[in-house]
Amino acid sequence: MFETKHPYRVQLTESGQLKHFITTEGLPRELLTEILDTADSFVDMGAQQVKKVPLLRGRTVANLFFENSTRTLSTFELAAKRLSADVLNLNIATSSTKKGETLKDTLMTLAAMQSDMFVVRHSDSGAAHFIASEVTPGVAIINAGDGRHAHPTQAMLDMLTIRRHKGDFTQLRIAVVGDVLHSRVARSQLHALRTLGVAEVRVIAPRTLLPRDVENFGVKVYQDLTEGLRDVDVVMTLRLQRERMTSALLPSESEYFKLYGITDDRLAYAHPEAIVMHPGPINRGVEISSAVADGKRSVILDQVTNGIAVRMAVMSMAMSGQQAERQARADAEAAAAAEQGAEQGAANEA
Ligand code: CP
């Protein structure tokens, strides 16, 4: 676990522009809406023959994934390329990390190669905050998932998918189902859902898979799946995070599926037009049946597609924020130098 000085504020410039994207927690509704609106403008571009804009031309983006990934790494790479950036994917398995190089030294080395942005996935909660606040000034840091803490671009692609399918957040009843305790996705989703003004957010899980402070997220908690699903517009399923469980929290996966797996029978309790989401990777027959995952209410592959647009939005906004901050610093330095020159001139005349 890394310690940082200003975990939420560090991602914004003095004037409130995004310059890093570390967490959805603490960000204002206007900024989350700006991310969604910007992403919306990129979604249609994906269907065009030429899928490129020059917003990051001449910039270098380094993808640093210290944990495995399929969706996030691939869509960040595609997003950066569609923004015309040069992209470096560091292969951690064959990197000098394996010879004992620290995270800080790896990042300083890549910063010395004039990287403009690091996209970082790390198993330690707080890694992205630490890098943004302590390690590499001037490089935009995008959190691609840190420990149990946050996965903000996943949450925002989920929000975009909900908005494109269901419209106004304030009219929706949404259920998050499953392993909230170990899920960085759930934490980022719950902050975003609350900030965007969703009418009712429910969490459905066994007690052993809920954080002790879950009610602080402003959610209704259910242990019974069918009760919790009643009349919801959106079902957001979570993966069982076996790799983060340090003790036996479940009798078995088949028992979990019996009680909490999303099947067509269970889905019948939700609103007839409810959509079903899952961040992936899916454990079929554990969190969700294949019939539901591949069925007509599933928007799981839309989530993947929308991930490219959201990542394009976040990367272009963070780069603008970094540029604005550099400009503000240069202006302040020029003003200070002019003031000093004027004072010196006055002193010389006297
Ligand atoms: N949803 C998600 O983060 O998937 P990956 O681990 O495949 O990136």
How many Cα neighbours within 13 Å face the side chain of 300?
22
Contact status, residue 170 vs residue 29, Cβ threshold 8 Å: no
What is the pLDDT, as a whole number, of residue 149? 95
**Atom 3 in ligand 1: residue holding the nearest Cα:** 72
DSSP H stretches of helix in the chain? 29-43, 71-82, 103-111, 127-130, 152-166, 184-195, 225-229, 253-260, 264-267, 290-293, 300-349
Output the CA 72–ligand 1 centroid distance in Å.
5
Q: Phi and psi (nearest 5°) for 253? A: -65, -35
**Residues contacting 2, CB < 8 A, separation 6+:** 124, 125, 126, 127, 129, 130
Output the CA 252–ligand 1 centroid distance in Å.
23
Task: Give the DSSP letter of residue 331.
Answer: H
Among 63, 65, 68, 70, the mutation site with the greatest number of ligand 1 atoms within 8 A of its Cβ is 70
Residues with CB under 6 A from ligand 1: 69-72, 145, 154, 279-281
CA-to-CA distance for 238 and 151, rounded, in angstroms? 13
CA-to-CA distance for 235 and 175, rounded, in angstroms? 5
Q: Which domains does the chain have, with CATH numbers?
A: 9-151+304-322 (3.40.50.1370), 153-301 (3.40.50.1370)
The overall average pLDDT reported for the chain is 93
Question: How far, CA to CA in Å, does 104 sit from each of 12, 27, 97, 139, 348?
Answer: 22, 27, 10, 13, 48
Place of tokens 């959509």: 275
What is the pLDDT, as a whole number, of residue 244? 65
Of 343, 318, 332, 340, nearest to 31 by C-alpha is 318
User: Measured from the CA of 239, which atom of ligand 1 is nearest?
Assistant: 1
The encoded tokens of residue 313 equal: 């939005």
First to last CA, the chain: 58
The predicted model scores a pTM of 0.93
Place of tokens 């240069």: 330
What is the pLDDT, as a whole number, of residue 132? 92
Among 65, 66, 68, 72, the mutation site with the greatest number of ligand 1 atoms within 8 A of its Cβ is 72
Output the CA 304–ligand 1 centroid distance in Å.
9
CA-to-CA distance for 333 and 243, rounded, in angstroms? 49
Output the CA 67–ligand 1 centroid distance in Å.
10
What is the pLDDT, as a whole number, of residue 241? 83
DSSP 3-state assignment of 177? strand
What is the pLDDT, as a whole number, of residue 1? 47
**Atom 6 in ligand 1: residue holding the nearest Cα:** 69
Output the CA 81–ligand 1 centroid distance in Å.
19
Q: Which residues of 5-24 are buried (b: 16+ CB within 10 A; e: fewer)?
A: eebeebbbbeeebbbbbbbb
What is the pLDDT, as a whole number, of residue 245? 64
What is the pLDDT, as a whole number, of residue 111? 92
Percent of the chain with pLDDT over 90: 85
Question: How far, CA to CA in Å, does 118 sit from each of 19, 65, 100, 136?
Answer: 12, 10, 20, 10
- Where the chain has pLDDT below 70, the residues are 1-7, 243-249
**Atom 5 in ligand 1: residue holding the nearest Cα:** 69
User: Measured from the CA of 73, which atom of ligand 1 is nearest?
Assistant: 8
DSSP H stretches of helix in 16-70? 29-43
Query: pLDDT for 152-183, tens place per residue?
Result: 999 999 999 999 999 999 999 999 999 999 99
Cα-based torsion angle of the residue sequence 235, 253, 210, 73 in order, rounded to the nearest 10 degrees: -70
Omega of the bond prior to 281 within 30 degrees of 0, cis?
A: yes
